[in-house]
Amino acid sequence: MQALASRSSCVPAAGQSARSGQQAAIVPPCSAAGRGAARPARQQRQRHAAVAAATENAPAGAVVDEALAADLGFDKEFERFKAAAAQGNLVPLYERVMADQLTPVLAYRCLVKEDDREAPSFLFESVTNGTQQGRYSFVGATPELEIVARGQQVHVLDHRKGTRETMQAADPMQVPIDLSAHWRPVRAEGLPAVFTGGWVGYTGYDTVRYVYSGKLPFEEAPQDDRSLADIHLALYNDVVVFDHATKLAFVISWVHLGDYGSVEEAYLAGRRRLAATAAKLTSTNAPPLLNGKVSLSLSQRPRTATSNMTKEEFLAAVDKTKEYIQSGDVFQLVLSQRFERRTFADPFEIYRSLRVVNPSPYMAYLQARGCIIVASSPEILCRVDEQGRVTNRPLAGTRRRGATPEADEQLEKELLADEKECAEHVMLVDLGRNDVGKVSQSGTVRVEKLMEIERYSHVMHISSTVTGQLKPGLTSWDALRAALPAGTVSGAPKVRAMQIIDELEVARRGPYGGGFGLVSFTGGMDMALALRTMVIPTAANDTLYDYSGSKPRREWTVHLQAGAGLVADSVPESEWEETVNKSAALGRAIDLAEQAFVSSDNGAQ
């Protein structure tokens, strides 16, 4: 990869603003009489490398020599940093780099080694309407803190201090709230008004048991056969944000002033981290990425996966659910089964293939403790902006896309005329209104859009949008508590539906049916519903290896979970087929990864 050619470096100025300016190069340019003028890209690369090397082993609080201090912008940028520090105790430093050659996929691989699949890290991307790339993508690695909760036991891992704390918590979601209670972030003018640092991770389906511990105790949940965390959140101070509209990437490092003895020490530590991240992204020794050859027909049915329920067990569970519906326990219930595939395709290769097979608004590659999540969700679980506006957007009612615009229009009319689909959707809109209403000011809950059609790469859905204004004193975490789990994956009423799900499903759902996403330092939240999500456990004692290619390949177990919304007139065979078809859409990504990467690596034609 050629080096990136343009950069500016910024910190917030007093009054929560920022400006940028070019910095002098550490390495002097070649003379014109000799080898010609130095290329800006090479100067930038050398600058990053020199700054990173010069400061890597510097003791905390050390004052660097005057030449290096001047190159760091110590005279001007430090003064702006100090002014910003007077406004708060959490200050971002950032640089802008050209992103016309650097992609989010490559940036992730620059920051996380290929064989480091246990390292907490993330890559989030977006495609809207099936074809339009979302404006922003997010990449992060090396978190400072992790919160890992399983049941009431919570581990807080502080990687900066090298400490581990274990505690009991009735609601582990309170832990990040308590940890961030004293933070006063300073917003930097010049940074995009999106996630630029904060908490990233997932909250599993069973997180709701912390809220309804009396009605939904962990002891009555199905067997936990994977021992995955119920909640995994990691705190990322260092993040890369891609703006695809401007073809720029923002390399950002947030500095917690309370962790240092002086503003000078904090500034130098932040510059050190920023330079190290930028050096990885602009290195000419970027790790290679296989360019998978796509010759597989994406319409063919994927290789068969095995389920944790037999077909007979699933059909019997549908019949039992219909009995509960007829007796008035619930109006609707989402019954799921978990499929399993074994593959030598690497999880990151599966993610790259999923981007091709099923581009969606919430595409994620998330390495967490004990598992890797590969997702292409279409649905918001909970969104809260920095002004406290809460958004819930239920999706229910589905048709495949037509082969032509005319066929699309006809299918749209059929979908909106389907009484069963519309009744189910209205039920979920009511659940969304209730969830938003729990945390919103009186009179602010609105159904802004009702029963509109949203088109994706392969399907269309009925969509509605419910909004409200967060009550004073509440945070985005409260909105998330109220939203879990979405009615789309549980039923109505939610608590009774979950009790029946506990009875009928054979294993805990784990991340499926929960949420994954981002919670920013500045209070915003964007969590997606964990649908169309693959969960890949990283701890296994029966792993096979394939040594026939250019490198050893590990066999991975991939879990694909899918559910069907059951109502009074559901046909058991049709509901079983629906779950099979939904899982097959994810299975095609595994097939593509095997064909594009594994077969190519093994020299297959």
Q: How many CA atoms lie within 13 A of 427 on its CB side?
A: 25
Residues labelled catalytic:
461, 488, 512, 532, 565
Q: Pull the structure tokens for residue 304.
A: 């068969």
What is the amino acid identity at position 589? A
Residue 587 near residue 302 (C-beta atoms within 8 A): yes
pLDDT in tens, 38-95: 345 555 555 555 555 554 544 443 444 444 455 555 568 888 899 999 999 999 999 9
CA torsion, points 521, 522, 523, 527, in degrees to nearest 10?
Answer: -60
Residue 446 lies in a domain: no
Which pLDDT band holds residue 129 (cuts at 50, 70, 90)? low
pLDDT for res 22: 32
Percent of the chain past pLDDT 70, that is, above it, reads 85
Q: Dump the DSSP string for 558-602.
A: EEEEEEEEE-TT--HHHHHHHHHHHHHHHHHHHHHHIIIIIHHHT
The pLDDT tens digits for 432-461 are 999 999 999 999 999 999 999 988 777 888
Q: Which two tokens stand for residue 175?
A: 């832990």
Q: Ranked by mean pLDDT, which of 234-238, 562-566, 596-600 comes out on top?
A: 234-238
Task: Let me know if residue 169 belongs to a domain.
Answer: yes
- Of 302, 292, 226, 335, the closest CA to residue 586 belongs to 302
With a cut of 80, say whether residue 7 has pLDDT above it: no
The residue whose two tokens read 């933070």 is 183
- Integer-rounded Cα Rg, in Å, for the chain is 25
Confidence of residue 527 (pLDDT cuts 50, 70, 90): very high
Give CA–CA dist 24/424, Å, rounded: 62
- What pLDDT is recorded for position 322? 98
Instruction: Let me know if residue 328 belongs to a domain.
Output: yes
pLDDT, tens only, 188-198:
888 999 999 99
Sign of CA dihedral 184, 527, 136, 387: negative
Average pLDDT, the chain: 86
Domain hosting residue 363, numbered range: 1-27+35-291+307-388+470-605
Q: Residue 548 has what pLDDT?
A: 83
Query: Total structural domains in the chain?
Result: 1
Number of residues that make up the chain: 605
Q: pLDDT of 397-413, one tens digit each? A: 888 888 888 998 999 99
Nearest to 63 by CA among 272, 264, 274, 262: 264
Whether residue 341 lies inside any domain: the answer is yes
Residue 6 — very low, low, confident or very high, per pLDDT cuts 50/70/90?
A: very low
Question: What confidence tier does 9 reach under pLDDT thresholds 50, 70, 90?
Answer: low
Is the four-CA dihedral 529, 532, 537, 538 of positive or negative sign? negative
φ, ψ dihedrals at 153, nearest 5°: -90, 130
DSSP string, 157-183: EETTTTEEEEEE-S-TTHHHHHHTTT-
Cβ contact 570:319 at 8 Å: no
Using DSSP's 3-state secondary structure scheme, residue 197 falls into: coil
Q: Confirm whether 475 is domain-assigned.
A: yes
Domain assignment present for residue 572? The answer is yes
414 in a structural domain: no
- Provide CB contacts within 8 A for 245, sequence distance 6+: 135
Does residue 415 belong to any structural domain of this protein? no
CATH number of 162's domain: 3.60.120.10
Cis, peptide link before residue 12, omega less than 30° from 0: no
